[in-house]
Amino acid sequence: MRKRRVWAGLLGLGAAVVEDVYCGDQGEVVVAARPRARERDLCGVCRRRCPGFDLGEGRRRWRALDLGSTLAYVEAWAPRVSCPEHGVVVCAVPWARHPSRFTRAFEDQVAWLAVHCSKSATAELMRIAWRTVGSIIERVVADTGREIDLLAGLRRIGIDEISHRKGQRYITVVIDHDTGRLVWASPGRDRKTVLSFLDELGEERCEQIRLVSADMAAWIAGPVAERCPNAVLCIDAFHVIQGATDALDQVRRDVWNEARRSGQDQLAHRLKGARYALWKNPENLTGRQQAKLADIQHTNRRLYRAYLLKEQLRQIYRLPADTAIALLDRWIAWGI
Ligand SMILES: [Zn+2]
C-alpha cells in the first residue's frame, strides 16, 4: 500500500488510487490509476457531477514527468458523462487538465521552462513537439485564473513575452522571481495587456512590488512606472547582452564596409568570417575562431575594443555585486 502512495507522489497523482505499476512495450513506466469515488463522474469542462454515458474510448494514457530518463504515463479509464450544459464529454481526472494528454505536473513544468528558456530548448528537454509547447501554455494560462490567488504577496516579478504558433501569437507572462512560478498570463503584448495585469493586481499590491525585470520595451516600462511607485525596473541580463552583441555587430559591419570601400580587399576578406568568433562566448571558441580573434586584435583596434566591451559586460553579471558595480562604472567610462 505504501509503495502505491510513493508512485502516486512521484507522478503527481495526488489522492488518486494507484492500481498497478508496470513496464510498457517501449520500456516506459505505466502507472494504472483511478480517481477516488468522490472525483468520479465529473464533467470534464465544469466538473459538475453528471450521469454516466459510456466508457468512451476505453483506457487512455497521460504523459507524466519523466522518471529519470524513462518516460512515464498515467493510465486510466476515460469514461464519458452526459452533462446538462456541455453534452457528452469525457470525465474530469484529478491529475490532468481537460482535455489534455499530459498530467498537470508535466504541463506546469513545461510552462515554467517555456518562460525561463527558449521554446525549442523546452521542447527538446521535455521530449514533446514544438507546437505542443504552445498548446500546453494556452491550457496553463486558461487555468491560472481558476487556481488560488497567485498574485498575493508578489514582491519581485518578471514580465516577458512568449511567441507561439510559429510567432503568430504572443502571450505576456508574469513570473514570481521568489517562487519561480508563472503567476499571470494573457494573450497580447502591448500596453493594454500590462495594464490589465496591474488592474488585476490592484493599487495596494502594486505598491508592494519592489522589482520588475523586463526587456527594454516601452509597453512594459511605461505602465510599471505609472502604477508601481516603489518598484525598480531592471533589464533582463539576456537583453542587455543582446544589445551589446547587436552593437558589436554594427561595428563589424561598419569596419567591413569601410575596408571594402577603401579597396582593402584583404582586410575585408579576413573580417568576413569573423562574425561567429566575435559572437561566441570565448570559452566556446574553436581553435580557428581563436586565431581569427587574435588576428582582429592585431589588425583592427576599433573592432577589438567593441568585442572587449561586449565580453566585459558579460563578465559583470558573473561577479559579486560590489565588484560588479565598480567594474560597471569603469565599463561605462571606457565605453563613452
Ligand atoms: Zn459540464
Ligand 1 centre to CA of 12 (Å) is 25
Ligand 1 centre to CA of 79 (Å) is 14
pLDDT at 304 over 60: yes
pLDDT digits (tens, 9 = 90+) for 60-114: 999 998 888 899 999 999 999 999 999 999 999 999 999 899 998 899 889 888 8
- Overall domain count for the chain: 4
Ligand 1 centre to CA of 50 (Å) is 8
- Cβ neighbourhood burial of 218 (10 Å; 0-12, 13-18, 19+): exposed
Ligand 1 centre to CA of 202 (Å) is 32
**DSSP-derived pairing of the beta strands 211-214 and 156-164:** parallel
- Residue 73: domain span: 1-97
Same domain? For 88 and 138 the reply is no
Contact between 61 and 74 under an 8 Å Cβ cutoff? The reply is yes
Same domain? For 242 and 224 the reply is no
Ligand 1 centre to CA of 37 (Å) is 18
pLDDT digits (tens, 9 = 90+) for 99-113: 899 998 899 889 888
Ligand 1 centre to CA of 84 (Å) is 7
Same domain? For 2 and 88 the reply is yes
Ligand 1 centre to CA of 152 (Å) is 30
Ligand 1 centre to CA of 46 (Å) is 4
For ligand 1, a single-atom ion, the residues with CB < 5 A are: 43, 45-46, 83, 85-86
Same domain? For 28 and 75 the reply is yes
Q: For residue 310, what are the CA distances in angstroms to 21, 177, 281?
A: 53, 26, 10
pTM of the prediction?
A: 0.56
Same domain? For 160 and 227 the reply is yes
Same domain? For 185 and 214 the reply is yes
Per-residue burial over 300-324, b if 16 or more Cβ lie within 10 Å, else e, is beebbebbebbebbbebeeeeeeee
Final residue of a domain: which of 200, 235, 270?
235
Higher pLDDT residue, 182 or 45? 45
Same domain? For 246 and 301 the reply is yes
Same domain? For 138 and 182 the reply is no
Final residue of a domain: which of 192, 209, 235?
235
Same domain? For 179 and 252 the reply is no
Mark out the alpha helices in 146-286 (DSSP H runs). Answer: 191-207, 218-227, 237-261, 265-272, 275-279
pLDDT digits (tens, 9 = 90+) for 264-285: 887 787 777 778 888 888 888 8
Same domain? For 279 and 312 the reply is yes
Same domain? For 245 and 322 the reply is yes
Helix (H, G, I), strand (E, B), or coil: what is residue 23? strand
